[in-house]
Structure formats: C-alpha cells, structure tokens
Structure 1
C-alpha cells in the first residue's frame, strides 16, 4: 500500500490536529516514527511535549480510548469496529474500545427540517401531519425526530448530519494514509493488519451512512421472519426514505431492564430470552444475515412478549460456504478432532505466518477438554468464545470481519438473554438449533441438491480447464511472452544503496572543494575573498557528513 503525502497536505489542519491529539495522549513515539510530527508547527510541538507526563498514570487501553473519543465521530466508529476484532487487537485495548461513547450535541432542528424538505421535495407540513423539532435521540452520524404521517401513523424520522459524508470521507482518506505509514515504519504493527482493518471499517461506515441500505435490511428481516409472531419488525415507509432520511414505524415497547416491572412479561421471561436467541441463530445460520449490534439498547419487548429489534445499520453477512464451514467446525469440535478443526480454520481464516500444527492441535485439545462434558447450566459461552478467539490470536489466524462480528454479537446476545432471564443459558438454545441444522443437512432432498451443485461445478471445470490450458500455451508460444518475477525485500537494499551513493557524491564534492580552496589559499593570487569562505563551508559540510554517519550507527 503506497503512501500519498499530498493527502496530508490537502487536509493539513486536520492532519496537524490528529498528530497533536496522538502526542497529547502519549503516542508521540508513534507520531515521530511514522513522520507525522512534521505536520505540526514548532510552537505547538514544544507545547505538547509538556503534556506527556500527564498520560503516564493512564493504562494503554485508556489512552487509546481517549484518543479515539477526542478525534471525533469517524474515529469513534472506527474504535467501535476495532472492538469487534479481539483476534487482532490486544484484549486490554478491546475492553476499553467497547466503552466508547458518542457524546455529540444535536444539530439545529431547522437544519434537520431543511434536510428532510430537500430530500423529499416537499415542505415538512406536506410530508407529515406533525413533526417534533426536539430530537428524540442523537448519534455521531445522525439524529432521530418523532413525527406523524398524514394518516395519523406514528413514525420516527432518522436524519443524517449535514456534511457528515464529507467529514467521514476526509477522515477515511487520512486513516488509509496512517495505516500505510504504520505498516511501513512500524513493522511490529503488521500483526494487527492495518490495511484490512481500515478496509473493513470503510465498508461498515459507508453502509451505515446510506439509510436506503438500512431500509432494505429491515425489509429483508421482515421477509425472513414473515409469519413468525415472536419477532416484530418495524414497518418502513419507502416513499419517505432517501440516502440521508429514513422514516419507519415508531415502536413503543419495554427495554430489557424494564420487564421486571411488568408482571405479564416477567412471567414469560424464559420464553422471551429463548426466542431472542433462536431468532438470532436462525437469521445467522439459516438465512446468512444477522443483526450485528444486538446490545440491550437495540431491543424492545412488546406487550404480547414479542421482540422488536432497532437500528439495522450494522448487519453481518455469512455466505453459504462460511455457514457450512462453521457447522463442520462444530461437528469436529464435538468429536474432539483438533486436526480437522485446524483444516477448517485454515479455510476460514487468513494465516499471518506458518502454523505449528502440533502446537495448535495441543492448544485446541486443551480448549475442548476445558469445556467438554460440562453441564449446560455451567457452560459460559461468552468465555468459551473469548478463549476460542485467544487461540486464533496466539496462532496468528486472521478471521473474516463478519465472523468476528458474529462472535461479538453472540457474546452480546448472551448478556441480553441474562438481563431478560437471570437463569438464561444460551447453550440450551444453541445445541438443539445445531442438531436441527444437522438433520436438515442430511435430508435426502438437501443431499441431492448438493450433489447436483457439485456436479455442475465439476462439469464447468471439465469444460473450462482445457480452454484455460490452451490459452496459457498460446501465451507461452508468443514471441513477446514474458514472466513476472517479484523479489521481496529489495526496497531496503535500494534505499541503502541510494543513501550510500549520495554520501559518496557529497564526500567527493566536499573533498574536492576543500582541496581546491586550500590550493587557492596557499597561492599568492588575490582570491582570499573567494577561497576562504568556500574552505570554511566545505569543512562544515564535511563535519556534518561525518556526524550524520556516526548518528546513523552505520560507520
């Protein structure tokens, strides 16, 4: 990934602000290593050095969290995405990033009204029977207002912040450059996969910025659970939805911590908690699409005990191959087949170095023995998943972003289930669900479908392979055919040769200048006004060259 310094210069003020905040929270060494300090003016650089002492009382994780909070909404969202990657990010930092809060003031209500009017092409009075100017909730990307449609239906209107797309795109550009600089100048950060983390975040935040995507996700969930009375999906009003405006049904339900005060819901607490887990597992493992942020604030319990999910901005996707692999992993773990588990993980994950198969199998067997045979009421699935992620991190296995989002969502789901029903055990729902998936997997019609699909793949391969071989032979037989050879590790050698040649050239010029000016000084010619300054300047250049060589430690 190449760096483009012009992007920093184009956004010089924001770049200086980022550098200043990093230094302010004790990351001055990183700023210097990646060369970001040159975008700070001299006065601010001196002033910030005085604040480094203040950060020493904070832990590493706290300093990282405070840095993201100070950098603003885009970086807060980035930190929240990073908190889903315990396979890459150290656990102490993940725990702190999970505490990130969006403390942003609401934007002007008149601006919100103008945004809606411009998006819908009508006045606010023509669009709605009533519209509350005071926002119901505020976030870093937008805010929510309550309203009524002309037919009297209660709705919420989600309005994107003005200029937020411009600010996010600017920060995304700078984050890409920072990732490239960190990868280039901080080799030990490669294990965190800076490029991959930024690409994953870019995809996530652009999806959240487009409210039409969120509207489609809500409609997809409505279709998936059509006829299932245990889940209520809010109605979306497509005629009122745009990229920056989302209008959907207003839900009046109970938060998960309020059902203790509602006797009819408290009596159904076991059923409600189990339904929530069942619905999530069905959406993820049968439909391949799941709510990526099922924290307590995104749940509402309705009077009849049905569950309503809110905020569909973060959605995870599991393709069929990944779902099949996860089921295979579940079977291999149940059979204590650690080698099979390793093969499946190598299919799912990207390896950052060579895997020590014996070491991995030993760690995975220990992991299985730790939980195998425990009574279901004593099995802590959240802790089990964290231990599983720890094995991936130890062996440098880099999981797909959606898989890590699934793991985090299951951990959140377990916590929500326990809030609804203190006696809730997620495993009691997971095990029967996976047994159902396995029964369905080996149904004759399902097996026949798989055989048919595999036969089609083999048939296409049998048709395409001879064509590919013929094409390759034609290319090889051409006179202008060539081979590309990529040699890694040459950049360092080229830089060193370039630096050495520059020093040789400078040394020769300095030596010749000193020699020529010395001869002129020794001669009787009246050239002192010319030769003496050259002699002094050449001497200083020679001293500077020697000092530079000594300072680099490469004499």
Structure 2
C-alpha cells in the first residue's frame, strides 16, 4: 500500500522563507557590492582595485553551511553560483565547489513512499531487492541500487527528494523577492539579476522533470552509438515518470579513484584522452553536451580492458546546447582575434549575451585589447605549451573585472571545462588538454578542408575591411603587422606616434625604424606591409588559403609601387 504524500505546513513555510530571504539578501548584496566596486574602478582606468575576497569567502562559507541545512534549491543555487565567474572571483568560486559532495541523503522511507505513489504497487512487487543506503545523493534526488522484479536486471533507481515541487516554488519566490529588493534600490547595468533568475529557474525546472532527463539520456545514446570508447546506460522506458527514473546499473570506477584505477591496471592517460575527446565531440560537433561532468558522473566500466577503457557518462539532468547562431558568433570572436579587431569581438559577445544593454562597451573593448596584446601571435601549435590554468585565470579576471554577464549555457561549459582540466590532470599529469581540443576546434571554427572556403571568405572580408582603414588611418597598421615572425620587426612612421608591437607569451620585439614618404606610394607601401605581414602570420597559424591571398595581394601591391616609379 502506497503512503500518502505529506505537505509542508504554513508555519514551516513561513520560517523557511524567512531563513532563505535573510540568507540570500546578505549573500547577493555582498556579491553585488564587491563587483560593483571593481567594475566602476576599472571603467575609470584604475586596474589596481581588487575585490575583498576574504569578505566574500566569509559570506560564502556561511551560505554553504546554511544551504546544506536548508537543502534542495539552496544547494542547487550554490552550485549554480559556482559556475559564475562573472559574479565571483576565482578564490571565492572555490568555496562553493564542494557543495556537490556534501549533500545528505533522505531516509529510505521517503524512497519507498515515492516509488509506491508513482507506480501504484508495493515496493516488493517492483523490485526483487533494493538497497536501503543510497549510492549517490544530489540536491534534487538520490540513487539506490535495485533488481527489477520483471526482468531480473540490476538497475539504478533515481528518486526525487520529498516535497520537491513545493520547496522549489517557495525558494524561487524568495529568490525573486530578494532580486526585486536589490534591483529596486540599487541600479545595476553590469549584473543582470533578472537574467540570472530566469536562467536558474529554467535549469531547476528542467532538472526536476525526470522525463526530460530520460529524453536527454536517449539522445546521448544515439550520439555515441558508434563510439565503442564511450558507453551510455540504458533507460527503462516502462518506468519513466516525472519523479522516478530507472537506468541500467553500471559497475564502474570513478575517474578520481586513482587507487582503484591503478589496482585494475587501467591506462590513466588513455582514460583522460577518451574522456576529454568525448566531451569535445559533444561540444564542438554534436552541439549538445553533458553540462555536469564531475567525477561522480563519469565512470570507467570495470569489465573493460586496461588498454581499452570504456568511459561511461551518468546523470543527464543538466545539459547544454550550441545553436547555429551561437556557433557563428563564436567564429566571429575567433576571426576578431586573429585580425586584432576588439570591436568585432565586443559585437559577437553582445550577440551571445555576454554584454547586456547599457554596459560600458568602451571599457570592455579596452580590456579585450589587453588580452589581445597578451595572447595575439600564439599559434594553435604554440597553444599546446600554454598553462591551461593560467589562461583560465586571465579569462576569469577579465569576466569579473568588466561588465560581463555569462549566459547559462556558457557558465555550464566553463565549469565543465574547468572540471575536466582538473580530472584529466589528476589522471595523467602529462596529459595535454589543449592538444586534444585543437582538432575539434579547427573543425568547429571552419578550419577543416570541408569548410575552408567559407572561412576564407569571412577572413578575406575582414582583412579587406582592415585594409580600407589602413589607407586612411595608418595607426591601424598595427592590427595586421603586429610582429612578423621572421623579422621581429617594429614599424615607425616619420612624423607619426611610435607604434608598439607586442607578443604575449613568446618574447619581446625589436625595433627597426622605417621612413616612408610620398602620398600615393605611402599608401601602397602600407598596403604591401599589411598584406605581407598578414600573409606570413596567417601561414604560421596554418590558415593557408587566407595566407596566400594576403601574400598575393602583397605581390600585386609591390608591382603597383614599381610601376609608379
């Protein structure tokens, strides 16, 4: 006989709402206050101002402790905040990452109650056996190992926590009220509080519907059906409900259980390679990815051979998608990077939702120029030698110090990549994360043979646009001849301010003064230098088509200069 579902009484609702509102008001206010101070200072050109990280950590530690007691949505909110490099600096983000491993389990009586309510049968008619201790506990549900009575299969039974719908509704209302208070009394053009609320609400609602998760799991099965290095567990169709999901049980070893992997003689470098490759396939090629790849959601199957480890993904409640429009904007960012066009990058970031209406685009553009100076000239091949952690820190600092806001999909992606870097490095310290990513990135950005024509057309258009500017504004020559790899050359034009070329990680630049005279010939020489510099640089980063186009343009320009003599 199934048990009657209980509800939260009025007094308990009031007390919970009071505690949640008090917790959120203080936490979100401190986050808002510190970021506002840093962003405003940097908009005025003061890059020395830093957030008070000690105060943020103190507030977030208190938030984490209370969130564990309140459970459900507060834990999920902490996990969501841990993905937001636009709201918190790096050290503060780390405080919230452990929430994933600190979630207490619900009593087994609750599991029995939900199963009997959903299937209208006594639990022993459903399962030959079911373990009373859960094997995994998350913010919205928990998993128990069982044996199906109908088939005898060993399965994983995922059950939602009690009163999940009521608690989610109450806490979302409290969060909405707190955001209303903050936005009512403190105007903000650099933190989209309502956008943050909408993204969080959508994510939570999707995760509380196990029918959606089952659909996601089946989509991943289809994606990896021909990949024998990746396994997705079977979904039991006849047992799918909104509150219960039954999947094939996987006997496996967690990715961070290094002792067990070594005891099984598993090839840890190959595990790292297959895990990261599977993720980049999802992101770059399928456009649909597992957005929560922490070690508890990725296993190595125990029955796989040591040199042929089979990686298994679990928990498909949190997923992300890359649309065609997003892909085009991301390619625009790449093209803006190689042409050093900070304005084009700002436009693409705005289209992707990173920059909201009313944000100080001039300040953002200046910050992007600093990043371009630091990393411009680093080829895809040279990227293999970069420290991923150092690059990540630079990006996080840029996001926090400028009026950026991270769309949910990219927040999940950033956290997923950060998690994968840590897992892969732990598995194999000599694993090269960027080297695995480069082939997928080439294809994604249209640098493979099938998409070269489109890339050449787009790049050529951008180069010609820069060429027009070069003829009327000599200062823009720096955009395309920032340092010719072979000559390490700096150009100085007579009667014009000195221009500096900088190459981020690969050394300094020398200076050779060049004096140019004559109006018509000056334009031709400028075009020749720009085309030659662009051609050499593009060839070095393996863009052969655009490189030859620029070199050909340089030849035609040189011929024109000779004919004018």
Shorter-chain TM-score range: 0.5 to 0.7
Distance 2:161 2:411 in 1: 29
Q: Relative to structure 1, is the Cα distance of residues 391 and 372 closer, same or farther in structure 2, using a 3 angstrom cutoff? A: farther
State the 1:122 CA deviation: 2.3
Instruction: Decide which moves more: 338-347 or 397-406.
Output: 338-347
Distance 1:68 1:191 in 2: 25
Distance of 2:195 and 2:341 partners within structure 1: 31
Look up the SS of the partner of 1:277 in the other structure.
helix
Q: Which residue does 1:323 correspond to in 2? A: 327
For residues 316 and 169 of structure 1, the distance between their equivalents in structure 2, rounded to whole angstroms, comes to: 23
Distance change in 2, residues 1:70/1:439 (3 Å): closer
Answer yes or no: is 1:77 the counterpart of 2:76: yes
Match of residue 242 from structure 2: 243
Deviations 1:368-424 (A, max 9, x none): 249668845531234313422432443313232101211221111111111221111
How far apart, in 1, do the equivalents of 2:137 and 2:147 lie?
19
1:61 corresponds, among 57, 60, 83, to: 57
Alignment match, 2:171: 171
More helix by share: 1
In 2: Cα distance, 1:405 partner to 1:266 partner? 33
CA shift, 1:257, in A, is 3.2
Q: Given the superposition, is the C-alpha separation of residues 374 and 434 from structure 1 closer, same or farther in structure 2, using an over 3 Å criterion?
A: closer
Contact residue 102 and residue 140 of structure 1 kept, 8 A: no
Question: Matched residue pairs, number?
Answer: 417
CA–CA separation in structure 1 for the residues paired with 2:369 and 2:452: 39
TM-score scaled to structure 2, two decimals?
Answer: 0.66
CA distance in 1, matches of 2:411, 2:28: 29
Q: Secondary structure at the match of 1:59?
A: helix
8 Å contact kept, 1:293–1:314: yes
Unpaired segments of 5 or more residues in structure 2? 1-9, 33-51, 458-565
Cα distance change, pair 439–268 in 1 and its aligned pair in 2 (3 A): farther
Larger gyration radius, structure 1 or structure 2: 1
Between the aligned partners of 2:176 and 2:123, the Cα distance in structure 1 is 39
Aligned equivalents of 1:259, 1:408: Cα separation in 2: 22
TM normalised by structure 1 equals: 0.67
The farther-off stretch of 193-202 and 175-184 is 193-202
Structure-2 residue corresponding to 1:502: none
Equivalent residue number for residue 473 of structure 1: none
Q: CA shift at 1:442, angstroms?
A: 6.0
What is the aligned counterpart of 2:359 among 332, 350, 353?
353
2: CA distance, partners of 1:279 / 1:381 = 19
Give 1:91-110 correspondences, 5 Å limit: 91-101=90-100, 103-110=102-109
Q: Secondary structure at the match of 1:398?
A: coil
What does residue 267 of structure 2 align with? 268
Confirm or deny that 1:307 pairs with 2:311.
yes
- How many angstroms apart in 2 are the aligned matches of 1:344 and 1:261? 45
**How many angstroms does 1:19 deviate by?**
5.4
CA contact (8 A) 1:104 1:140 kept: yes
Q: For residues 74 and 377 of structure 2, what CA distance do their matches in structure 1 show?
A: 38
CA deviation map 1:408-460 (0-9, x unaligned): 2111111111122111111101112222335577637996xx9xxxxxxxxxx
Q: Which runs of 5+ in 1 are unaligned?
A: 1-7, 31-55, 451-555
For residues 93-492 of structure 1, what are the structure 2 equivalents within 5 Å?
A: 93-101=92-100, 103-150=102-149, 151-187=151-187, 191-259=190-258, 261-262=260-261, 268-302=267-301, 303-304=304-305, 305-348=309-352, 349-351=354-356, 352-356=358-362, 359-369=366-376, 375-438=382-445, 443=450
Higher mean displacement: 100-109 or 436-445? 436-445
Q: 1:376 to 1:11 in 2, by over 3 A?
A: same
Q: Which runs of structure 2 are paired with 1:33-72 in the superposition (5 Å)?
A: 59-71=55-67, 72=70
Q: 1: distance between equivalents of 2:236 and 2:28?
A: 48
1:23-59 Cα deviation digits (max 9, x unpaired) = 99998999xxxxxxxxxxxxxxxxxxxxxxxxx9973
